[in-house]
Amino acid sequence: MSRVLNFSAGPSAIPLAVLERAQAEFTNYHGLGFSIMEVSHRGKVFEELHNNAIAKLKSFYNIGDDYAVLFLQGGATLQFAQIPMNIYTGGVAEYVNTGVWTQKAIKEAKIQNINYKVIASSEDTKFDHIPNFNFSDDADYGYICSNNTIYGTQYATLPSPKCPLVVDSSSDLLSREIDFKAHNIGLFYGGAQKNAGPAGITIVIVKKDLAARVKDSVPTPLRYTTQIEANSLANTPPTFGIYMFDLVLDWIKDQGGLNAINAVNEQKAAALYELIDNSDFYKAFAKPGSRSLMNVSFATPSAELDGAFVKLAEQNGMIGLKGHRILGGLRASIYNAVTQQSVQTLCEFMKEFQRTHG
Ligand SMILES: *Cc1c(COP(=O)(O)O)cnc(C)c1O
């Protein structure tokens, strides 16, 4: 059987070239006679891979030694708790609520009993746009989610506050260039399983001076400083996930880097939104100006037709198009690994579905 066209939201498509390289190296890494999963995380072979992955990521985002790159576990979800635990210093932590993932982060701030404030929200319109706001200059940090996986909204550009910016980039990690200095990014993180590899590894880029805010009362394994000092080896890291992430970084380089990737992403998203906007059958959920290049949430005129769409799409070799249960409808996740050809095929299918069901 040939491979399906995969529009899943996460875990999601991984570039075929990456899977094939992993397959070729699976039992015999670089001719050394073992799999990368079978050797010590403190040994020379893994250490070199690990440090190369960090260097590649730093070069993509053009960041220096004032930032640490950590490969952690516990998903983006653990970060919701770990962030206030580590970088809150007794002032005000400001949050922007753009949906489920920021709500979960806000809930953890509440549990830790810190002084937090939701300074903007798009909840009253079911999170169909990114609201306008300004973080206070003196906030402990300002928290956003750059791409809202469920609703299909995304910051066209990140804010540039005076306070440190914290970004949940789980679903648009490595999709475009980000100027860390211009946006005063203090902490930037995401799980790999949407746009950067398999599940099991969380990439955290944290400014070292921010990590140093941590209090002695925070448990050692939950401190960023612990992992910074140990180069993410305070405990056994998810070595296979790091290996796969490294292969994805190489693949991005082969595509011409983040700007080239972003240009393709823009074309893929434009093709879908154009089709949707020009039809009186499909409707996009997110408002123009806030639309995600990664997740296109849309719907047909009825839940019945949505269901028929998903079913027929599967019969045609396209999976993952069912919308999130909170929002219903349909969603095409078109991450880096989803090719222009795949999006083209989906567009053709959508036109045909409208013709036969509209
Ligand atoms: C998927 C997702 C998460 C949760 O990731 P886990 O790895 O399951 O913890 C958090 N934030 C965003 C934006 C996501 O898309």
Q: Are 130 and 221 in the same domain? A: yes
**Where does a domain end: 205, 223, 255?**
255
Element (H, E) at 66: none
In a domain, 10, yes or no: no
Q: Are 239 and 261 in the same domain? A: no
Instruction: Indicate if ligand 1 lies below 6 Å from the C-beta of 171.
Output: yes
For the question of residue 101 being annotated catalytic, the response is yes
In a domain, 3, yes or no: no
* Structural domain of 75: 16-255
Q: Which residue lies with its CA nearest to atom 1 of ligand 1?
A: 170
In a domain, 196, yes or no: yes
State the DSSP code for 64.
-
CA atoms of 37 and 259, how far apart (whole Å): 32
Q: Any idea what the CATH number is for the domain that residue 131 is in?
A: 3.40.640.10
In a domain, 6, yes or no: no
pLDDT per position in the chain (358 positions), as tens? 689 999 999 999 999 999 999 999 999 999 999 999 999 999 999 999 999 999 999 999 999 999 999 999 999 999 999 999 999 999 999 999 999 999 999 999 999 999 999 999 999 999 999 999 999 999 999 999 999 999 999 999 999 999 999 999 999 999 999 999 999 999 999 999 999 999 999 999 999 999 999 999 999 999 999 999 999 999 999 999 999 999 999 999 999 999 999 999 999 999 999 999 999 999 999 999 999 999 999 999 999 999 999 999 999 999 999 999 999 999 999 999 999 999 999 999 999 999 999 8
For the question of residue 322 being annotated catalytic, the response is no
pLDDT in the model for residue 71: 98
pLDDT in the model for residue 13: 97
87: number of CA atoms within 13 Å, CB side?
26
Structure tokens at 71: 């490969």
What is residue 173's three-state secondary structure?
Answer: coil
What is residue 297's three-state secondary structure?
Answer: strand
CA atoms of 182 and 288, how far apart (whole Å): 25
Task: Note the pLDDT tens digit of each residue in 241-284.
Answer: 999 999 999 999 999 999 999 999 999 999 999 999 999 999 99
Tell me which of 170, 187, 292, 331 to substitute to probe ligand 1's pocket, judged by most ligand atoms within 8 Å of the beta carbon: 170
Strand-pair category, 165-168 with 283-284: unpaired
CA atoms of 30 and 46, how far apart (whole Å): 12
Q: Are 264 and 130 in the same domain? A: no
In a domain, 217, yes or no: yes
CA atoms of 9 and 172, how far apart (whole Å): 11
Q: Are 158 and 186 in the same domain? A: yes
Q: Are 330 and 292 in the same domain? A: yes
pLDDT in the model for residue 190: 98
Q: Are 181 and 145 in the same domain? A: yes
pLDDT in the model for residue 1: 65
Q: Are 221 and 262 in the same domain? A: no
**Where does a domain end: 255, 271, 287?**
255
Count helices and strands in the chain by DSSP H and E runs: 10, 14
Q: Any idea what the CATH number is for the domain that residue 295 is in?
A: 3.90.1150.10
Contact 44, 31 (CB under 8 A): no
For the question of residue 251 being annotated catalytic, the response is no
Element (H, E) at 319: strand 318-319
Q: Which residue lies with its CA nearest to atom 10 of ligand 1?
A: 76
Q: Are 70 and 197 in the same domain? A: yes
* Number of independent structural domains in the chain: 2
CA atoms of 170 and 161, how far apart (whole Å): 21
CB neighbour class for 75 (10 Å; exposed up to 12, middle 13-18, buried from 19): middle
Q: Which residue lies with its CA nearest to atom 13 of ligand 1?
A: 170
**Where does a domain end: 255, 273, 296?**
255
Strand-pair category, 141-145 with 93-97: parallel
Element (H, E) at 34: none
In a domain, 9, yes or no: no
Q: Are 249 and 262 in the same domain? A: no
Q: Are 250 and 263 in the same domain? A: no
Q: What's the gap in Å between 191 CA and the centre of ligand 1?
A: 6
Mind giving me the DSSP string for 197-243?
SSTT-EEEEEEHHHHTT--TTS-GGG-HHHHHHTTT-SS---HHHHH
Q: Are 262 and 249 in the same domain? A: no
Instruction: Indicate if ligand 1 lies below 6 Å from the C-beta of 76.
Output: yes
Q: Are 224 and 89 in the same domain? A: yes
Distances (CA, A) of 163 to 66, 173, 193: 16, 22, 29
Structure tokens at 22: 């992993």
